A and B are shown apart, each in its own frame.
Chain A
Amino acid sequence: MGTADYAVEIRNVTKRFPGVIASNGVNFAVRRGEIHALLGENGAGKSTLMNMLTGLIRPDSGDILIDGKKVALRSPADAISLGIGMVHQHFRLVETFTVAENITLGMPTPRFRLDMDPIEQEVQEFSAKFGLEVNPKARIWQLSVGEQQRVEIIKMLYRGVNVLILDEPTAVLTPMEVKELFQVMRRMAASGKTLIFISHKLDEVMEISDRVTVLRAGKDVFTAETASTTKRELASKMVGRELKPPPPRPRGTFGAPVLELEGLQALGDRGEVALKGLSLSVLAGEIHGIAGVAGNGQRELAECITGLRKTLAGRVVINGKDYTNRHPRAIIEAGVSHIPEDRLGMGLAANLPLTENAIMKNYREDEMGPGAVIDRKRATQWTRDLVSRFQVKAPTLRTPVRLLSGGNSQKLLLARETTHDHNVVVAVHPTRGLDVGATEAVHQVLLAQRSAGIGILLISEDLEELLSLCDRISVIFEGRIVGSVERENVDIDEIGMMMAGIDPAGEGAGPVEAGV
């Protein structure tokens, strides 16, 4: 097949960021008029690749070819003018504007007088042609998520896009809306548009795509006609085989359960059911890992435990006592530490100095000052202790934490969370975005906590991290725990399949319920 048959071709592209190689000689080619699925775990390099295609970032080396011609994409506008557009997972729409206004927003024409009639007419034509039904006069806030997504697609079509990248488009949709989206996608492909479909969900990839490429650790590891592959094969390509089973280590001494979850149900931020009856337990002295692809309820799980999200059904039991839907403060006082996913947005007050951040969990106690008073001297001393013990590198204690590196701010957070009185740690992606040294430091702290008899729930997307640290790994998929394995008999393929929603016992069957 000649080069000109490809709508998009990426040749040997490399992109480095400080500390990581996000794309390492990636080759990726999409034929004209096909639906090409791009699979990979978070951090596999999908976003980097797509950002290069849409002109947000430039590759360090390698070539991007559009319709067989080498191009230099300097901005999203360049990409659009070459016919490449992207529908992001988080929509970029002005809520109070109408559909037509959003579509014309940012276009160079019309320049002065806005005449919406021709735009509305064109929207109608797209609607009819591709089944993208949406009222051009409606305001965005009145539309459902599915309709808003259609507006994003029309926005791109209106700009004359031929290659459309859809970034996890089904993550926000109801099953009915997914069906409608797939019909739209098929009609667009049939009319000659090229679609790149980014997804985690193997079922959807199998259903909608013509071909599929799997990225792992910044490399393209597999490309095939969808019809000639299987979910099982894709799952194992995604997870990778070079992961070794964990080295044996002496079995820890486990105590009584410190955290028990029974049939947790909760909604996600968009009102979707994110947890569908999740049960698990964490023993004292155990690191219990939660593996899973992002967006399967991990965040909601952590927030239900820590009292930050309402639990609709089920129970959260901490040290034998029921703490379901209690105030976060009660749960902190019950001994639960929390290393949240969003370190600077939730775990730390980014604009405030180290000291203010270091005392966030124990400022109420008398050690920080009697009664209503905060003793600044004690607060400073406390912070100095944490900083030196955990080797946090900071210019001064007055430096706002947003100016610290990711590793140092995480060390500060970890120091605070593991130093005050507690016996449970809920850690969510504790090493995401950290360099090797900081990652190692975080791991050492977690292992030390384990030795101290603290029960740790470690939610991570990094399977390697889970394998090396955990005593037990459970897999979360669509709001449930679908399986659980002990460190001694881990089967990496099995975990990979469970993460992809495949019952390891048989291809094609739905996820299995598993008691924990």
Chain B
Amino acid sequence: MKLVFEKRDPVPMSYRVVSPVLAVLLAFLLGTVFLTASGFSPMKVYAAMFSGAFGDWYGISETIVTAIPLMLCGLAVALSAKMLLWNVGAEGQFHMGAWGAAAVALSMPDAPAWQVLPLMVLAGVAAGAAWALLAAVPRAFVGVSETITTLMLNYVAIYWIEYLVHGPWRDPKSLNFPLSAPFSDAARLPMFGYTRIHWGLIFAIVAAIAIDLALGRTKWGYEVKIIGESPRAARYAGMSIERNIIITMAISGALAGLAGMAEVSAIAGRMTRQLSPGYGYSAIIVAWLGKLNPYGVLLVSILFGGLLVGGYSAQFLGVSAASVNMLQGLMLFCVLATEALGRYKVRLVPTGAKGASQGGHGEGEAEANG
């Protein structure tokens, strides 16, 4: 018997819907191998994770809290990826957004909420956008790979925050902990009820709707779509690729910056070094798992929020925090694998049969296209 891969085009809709679910299940399955090997009962660990993340209202609310920055950063990554721009710098833009918001909050401790909060949003969005533009401008005009520059700018942003909280911004009353002074109550983004779910959720939902509408119903969104599919066709149609790189990256950075603003204002309430357990990086996986669809990103963010929150519960069983990262990684791996596999029909063919004797499928195709 022999495995034969045949290209299929188009990929059936049903597969495209099923494949992310398949990928997640496959990742958990592969995870059992790893967990068993390190001496845990996979079922127990998964059960602990699930009940930690979704078992009660507290768990669910915490899952959503964790999902908020993932949603906004995931939207940021997905939007730029629509244009084949790999913004792996959401983490840095998130930190710069938090910085911008914190700078406003700390400099106007006595201002009322209606003044300080809008300014914090504005500063966070602007700082995130500016950080993305640092990579977008060289990409647009001289072709510098944005993958490298956005990644490197992450470190600059993170160390900038470290410097501030260890130095100029350190609160004298913080007993030498690297923390800024707490924000005034007015500078805290409101939360809903007794949960920690905050306005960031609204930001994320509005952003997803706005992106969906903009991509589907505006001339800008149309250009993004064409450029993402075929830069040559876009240039031929008279679109300015440079301009769109800059606009798209700026919006992408702004979304990640907004995530930083919301996190520092609502959750932390002061600048710290520990704002993000890597939201900006997880966002890359979120964006892919969500198939770059804005609503898909929202859904997957909740799954990933649950993964993080559940991961804390699993740690009570002695599972290391890195296992959660491993599961995330496995998911990305499985997403890419199922996606690639989806382009083929896989069949088992008895050896010696006609189909199998034609050598590699590459040649078979060449012939079919000739």
Q: Which residues of A contact B (CB under 8 A)?
A: 17, 51, 56-57, 74-75, 306, 308, 327-333, 338, 340, 342, 345-352, 356, 359-361, 363-364, 368-369, 372-374, 376, 400, 402-403
Instruction: Check B225–A374 contact: CB distance below 8 A.
Output: no
A333 — which chain B residues lie within 8 A by C-beta? Answer: 238
Task: Determine how close the nearest CB of chain A comes to the CB of B306; give it in whole angstroms.
Answer: 33
Instruction: Say whether B236 contacts A352, CB under 8 Å.
Output: no
Supply 9 further A-B pairs (C-beta < 8 A) apart from A369-B217, A403-B10: A308-B235, A328-B235, A328-B237, A333-B238, A349-B230, A349-B233, A351-B230, A356-B225, A373-B217
Of all chain B residues, which has the CB nearest A51? B370
Distance between B123 CB and nearest chain A CB, rounded to angstroms: 26
Look across to chain A and name the residue whose beta carbon is closest to the beta carbon of B236. Answer: A346
B39 contacts A by Cβ under 8 Å? no
A363 to B366, CA, bound (A): 37
Residue pairs across A and B with CB atoms within 8 Å: the count is: 84
Once the chains bind, are A57 and B236 in contact (CB under 8 Å)?
A: no
B219 touches A347 (CB 8 A): no
Does the CB pair B367–A57 fall under 8 Å?
yes
Q: In the complex the two chains form, is A75's CB within 8 Å of B363's CB?
A: yes
| Highest count of chain A CB atoms <10 Å: which of B225, B236, B363 | B236
Smallest beta-carbon distance B314→chain A, Å: 41
| Bound Cα distance A51, B236 (Å) | 33
- Residues of chain B at the chain A interface (Cβ within 8 Å): 9-10, 216-222, 225-226, 229-230, 232-240, 359, 363, 366-367, 370
CA distance A364 to B222 in the complex (A): 10
Contacts of B240 in A (CB 8 A): 327, 329
The answer to whether A364 and B229 touch across the interface, beta carbons within 8 angstroms, is no
CA distance A328 to B237 in the complex (A): 7
Taken together as a complex, chains A and B put the C-alpha atoms of A169 and B234 apart, in Å, by 33
Contact A372 B235, CB 8 Å, known A349-B229, A360-B226, A403-B10: no
Chain B: minimal CB distance from A379 (Å): 9
In the assembled complex, the Cα of A346 lies from the Cα of B235 at a distance in Å of: 8
Q: Which A residue sits closest to B366, measured CB to CB?
A: A56
Given A349-B229, A373-B217, A376-B216, A356:B222 Cβ within 8 A: yes
| Bound-state Cα–Cα, A376 to B225, Å | 15
In the complex, A331→B216 CA distance in Å? 27
- Which of B218, B239, B363, B367 touches A372 (beta carbons < 8 Å)? B218
Asked if B236 contacts A372 (CB within 8 A), the reply is no
- Closest A residue, CB atoms, query B223: A363
B233 engages A56 (CB within 8 Å): no
9 residue pairs, one from A and one from B, having the closest CB atoms: A329-B238, A349-B229, A349-B230, A360-B237, A328-B238, A349-B233, A332-B238, A346-B232, A346-B236
Bound complex: CA A338 to CA B232 (Å): 13
Please indicate the chain B residues that have their CB under 8 angstroms from the CB of A327 in the complex. 238, 240
Q: How close is B343's CB to chain A, nearest CB, in angstroms?
A: 12
Query: B370, A17: Cβ atoms under 8 Å?
Result: yes
- Bound form: Cα–Cα A51–B232 in Å: 30
Partner of A308, one of B225, B229, B236, B366: B236
B236 and A75 contact, CB distance less than 8 A: no
Given the known interface contacts A360-B226, A400-B10, the answer about A373 and B218 at a Cβ–Cβ threshold of 8 Å is yes
Contacts of A364 in B (CB 8 A): 219
| B222-A374 in contact (CB<8A) | yes
Q: Are A369 and B233 in contact (CB under 8 A)?
A: no
B355 to chain A, nearest CB (A): 15
Complex contacts, B221 vs chain A, CB 8 Å: 374
Bound CA span A75–B366, Å: 11
